Amino acid sequence: MPEPNAPSSRLPGFYKLSVEERLDALAALVPLSAEERYQLRKEALAVGLADQMVENVVGVFGLPFAVAANFRINDRDYLIPMTVEESSVVAAAGHVAKLVREHGRITASSTEPVMIGQTQIVDLPDPETARRRVLEMRDRILAIANEQDPVLRDLGGGARDVEARLLDTRRGPMLVVHLLVDVRDAMGANAVNTMCEALALYLEGLTGGKVLLRIVSNLADRRLARARIEVAPEAFDERDWKGSVVAEGVVKACAFAEADPWRAATHNKGIMNGIDALVVATGNDWRAIEAGAHAYAARDGRYKPLSRWDLTPEGRLVGEIELPMALGTVGGATKVHPVARLALRILGVASARELAEVAAAVGLVQNLAALRSLAAEGIQRGHMTLHARNVAISAGAAGDSVALVANQMVREGRIRFDRARQLLRHALKRAGEEVQRMETRLHDRSPEPPAPKPEPLKEPGRDKP
Ligand code: NAD
């Protein structure tokens, strides 16, 4: 059922507004305090706070914070906060979310938020007896674990189960005890690590071995998020191509990734473009999400795409994704970083599970966006303008010269650093000449001469007849 209080995520023309106007439009949907506006515009993270977060701080590092529009997941609208440095990610997500909204549906689900804590036990006198004893003492192990986190237990979470696995390694046999912990709305690493550390002495006594590592596993395969998109092929109809051809192209692109790990890595990178942007924006641990996703993609011993695209007999395009999603709405930096707090408010999720479902859906939409453009116009057309701006900036352009240089490179279809430098030098030369003319006029106090006709921009290699 749609949430009555969820604001619409349709923001027509949002991309054409200035940053200030976008903030006004956002504030009309999610009330923003003066402090939050200040944080977004001026100081996302105060250096004093950064200094409390990690060691050896010498400053803060800024990244764009954007909002992707048009998302409707499980019949509820979401504005998706995204922090990402790569151009086109946000625009592509919002564009494809709109197509799906108009021609299809996104649904998502998740498992209980269960993380795995691993305890490695070595130097065992009798590995098999040790394994059996751990399983026999399951209840005692769970009780010790649950004494460590009364908050989690009171919230309905806590240690749920124990597993014991014998590993044959190049350093001899080892027993690995898995503690399965329902971490509710936390990412859970600290909570699980604390429990595993508290169990060390007891497990040593029980097994006669020596406990070595006690740490959460980032292959969080008991904490999965799933999303599904079903969309009519007409969603992809354009002047130059039929949507059904694009939909078939998306399925063929997926088949390519299933058969080829080189392609699968890029396929999954496209998924993570969306997921990471949301994970970073909400102050979550994106290394944990990345590690979990790629380990899960290789769980059968071969690296595979995390999503699968198919056509129904009626020709509708259906995509599905499943991956570990260890995200929190409490703990870590989620409540420390002011913009992460705001991002969670913009999203309006009620739990970490809901956040995980949204993240899976964003990943699948981002995946469809990339496959759609690859199967139609190719990735570069959509990327070009913003990419050209970045090339212009890295070549030294600033202010108005960014658009001047970028637009000229797009017109020429050659977006290159050397060309950006050349165009920039040309623009600077002309600006210098203009300044000189103005100075001369001021000096002479003579009436203004007619402005000279602007010279056409010259391309390399074509300067001479
Ligand atoms: P945390 O310890 O900051 O917060 C979790 C605690 O919050 C719980 O133990 C519980 O006591 C309390 N809590 C309050 N309300 C809760 C609710 N509604 N649901 C659940 N718990 C609630 O953080 P964490 O989530 O245990 O750990 C996350 C941090 O650990 C991240 O910063 C991550 O980068 C870091 N970390 C990751 C790894 C790894 O991924 N391998 C290893 C070590 C640390």
| pLDDT tens profile 455-464 | 555 444 333 3
pLDDT at 458: 47
Q: Which residue has the higher pLDDT, 390 or 101?
A: 101
Which candidate, 402, 440, 446, 441, places its Cα nearest to that of 420? Answer: 402
- Whether ligand 1 lies within 6 angstroms of the CB of 218 is answered as yes
CA-closest residue to ligand 1 atom 3: 331
Classify strands 317-324 and 224-231 as parallel, antiparallel or unpaired: antiparallel
Q: Each residue of 238-257: pLDDT tens digit?
A: 877 899 999 999 999 999 99
The pLDDT of residue 4: 47
User: Residues 232, 234, 235, CA angle at the centre, nearest 5°?
Assistant: 75
In the predicted structure, residue 130 carries a pLDDT above the cut 90? yes
Question: What spacing in Å lies between the alpha carbon of 18 and ligand 1's midpoint?
Answer: 37
- With a 6 Å cutoff on the Cβ, whether 223 touches ligand 1 is no
Tally of CA atoms within 13 A in the half-sphere of 388 that contains its CB: 23
Please state, in angstroms and rounded to a whole number, the distance separating the CA atoms of residues 349 and 351: 6
Summarised one tens digit per residue, pLDDT across range 404-454 is 999 899 888 888 999 999 999 998 898 888 888 888 888 776 555 565 655
The reply to whether ligand 1 has any atom less than 6 angstroms from the CB of 77 is: no
Please identify, by atom number, the ligand 1 atom nearest to the C-alpha of residue 190. 26
Q: Which residues pair with 188 in a beta bridge?
A: none
Say whether pLDDT at 293 is over 80.
yes
Cβ(246)–Cβ(285) under 8 Å?
no
Tell whether ligand 1 has an atom less than 6 A from the beta carbon of residue 152. Answer: yes
C-alpha span between 165 and 174 (Å, rounded): 8
User: Of the candidates 120, 132, 209, 119, which has an alpha carbon nearest to the alpha carbon of residue 159?
Assistant: 119
Average pLDDT score, the chain: 92
CA-nearest residue, atom 37 of ligand 1 = 189
If you average pLDDT over residues 275-279, what whole number do you get?
Answer: 98
- Is the CB–ligand 1 distance for residue 29 below 6 Å? no
Q: How far is the CA of 142 from the centre of ligand 1 (A)?
A: 19
Q: Measuring from atom 5 of ligand 1, which residue has the nearest CA? A: 331
**pLDDT interval class at 389 (50, 70, 90):** confident
The better pLDDT of the pair 189, 447 is held by 189
Instruction: Write out the DSSP string of 343-407.
Output: HHHHHT-SSHHHHHHHHHHHHHHHHHHHHHHHHTT-HHHHHHHHHHHHHHHHTT--THHHHHHHH
Q: Is 396 left (phi over 0), alpha (psi -120 to 50) or beta?
A: left
Mutate to test the pocket of ligand 1, among 146, 215, 285 (most ligand atoms within 8 A of CB): 285
94 lines ligand 1 (CB under 6 A): no
Output the pLDDT for position 331.
92
Q: How much is the pLDDT for 465?
A: 29
**192, 183 in Cβ contact below 8 A?**
yes
94-108 pLDDT, tens digit each: 999 999 999 999 999
Confidence check: pLDDT of 135 > 80: yes
Q: How far apart are CA 343 and CA 337, in angstroms?
A: 10
Residues with catalytic function: 86, 269, 285, 383
Q: Which pLDDT score is estimated for 461?
A: 39
The full DSSP string for 419-450 is HHHHHHHHHHHHHHHHHHHHHHHHHHTPPPPP
Atom of ligand 1 nearest to the CA of 217: 41
Backbone angles phi, psi at 69, to 5 degrees: -95, 175
Interval 165-185: pLDDT, tens: 999 999 999 999 999 999 999
Q: Is the CB of 219 under 6 A from ligand 1?
A: no
* pLDDT above 90 for 299: yes
Residues in the chain: 465
Ligand 1 mutation target, pool 53, 152, 197, 223, most atoms within 8 A of CB: 152
Structure confidence by residue, pLDDT tens digits, 47-59: 999 999 999 999 9
Cα 387 from Cα 215, distance rounded (Å) = 41
Is 83 within 8 Å of 362 (Cβ atoms)? no
Does any ligand 1 atom lie closer than 6 A to the CB of residue 289? no
Q: Which of 199, 110, 112 is nearest to 149 (CA)?
A: 199
Mean pLDDT of 216-234: 98
Give the C-alpha distances (Å, rounded to integers) separating 216 from 20, 120, 315, 332, 461. Answer: 42, 11, 43, 14, 59
Take atom 2 of ligand 1 and give the residue whose Cα is closest: 190
Q: How many other C-beta atoms can be found within 10 angstroms of the C-beta atom of residue 1?
A: 6
d(CA 285, CA 326): 8
117 Cβ closer than 6 Å to some ligand 1 atom = no
Phi, then psi, of 109 in degrees rounded to 5 = -150, 175
State whether the beta carbon of 158 lies less than 6 angstroms from ligand 1: no
Q: Is the CB of 151 under 6 A from ligand 1?
A: yes
Give the mean pLDDT of 112-126: 98
- Separation CA 308–CA 321 (nearest Å): 7
Closest CA to 216 of 108, 71, 324, 138: 324
How would you list the strands of the sheet with 158-169, edge to edge? 158-169, 172-182, 114-122, 210-216
For ligand 1, is residue 164 a contact (CB within 6 Å)? no
Please compute the mean of the pLDDT values over residues 76-81 and round it to a whole number. Answer: 98
353 contacts: CB under 8 Å, gap ≥ 6:
110, 112, 113, 225
pLDDT band at residue 42 under the 50/70/90 scheme: confident
Q: Which atom of ligand 1 is nearest to the CA of 328?
A: 25
Mean pLDDT, rounded, for 343-357: 97
What does the pLDDT look like over 18-38, one tens digit per residue? 999 999 999 999 999 999 999
**Sheet of 224-231, strands arranged across:** 104-110, 224-231, 317-324, 307-311
Q: Measure 55 CA to ligand 1 centroid, in angstroms.
A: 19
Residue-wise pLDDT for 317-330, tens only, equals: 999 999 999 999 99
Q: How far is the CA of 23 from the centre of ligand 1 (A)?
A: 31
Q: Among 190, 279, 282, 344, which residue has the most ligand 1 atoms within 8 Å of its CB, making it the best to mutate?
A: 190
**Angle at the Cα of 93 from the Cα atoms of 321 and 356, rounded to 5 degrees:** 45
Confidence class for position 1, pLDDT limits 50, 70, 90: very low
Please name the residues in contact with 196: beta carbons below 8 A apart, sequence gap of 6 or more: 117, 118, 119, 179, 214, 215, 216
Q: Give distance in angstroms: CA of 278 to centre of ligand 1.
A: 18
Q: How far is the CA of 193 from the centre of ligand 1 (A)?
A: 9
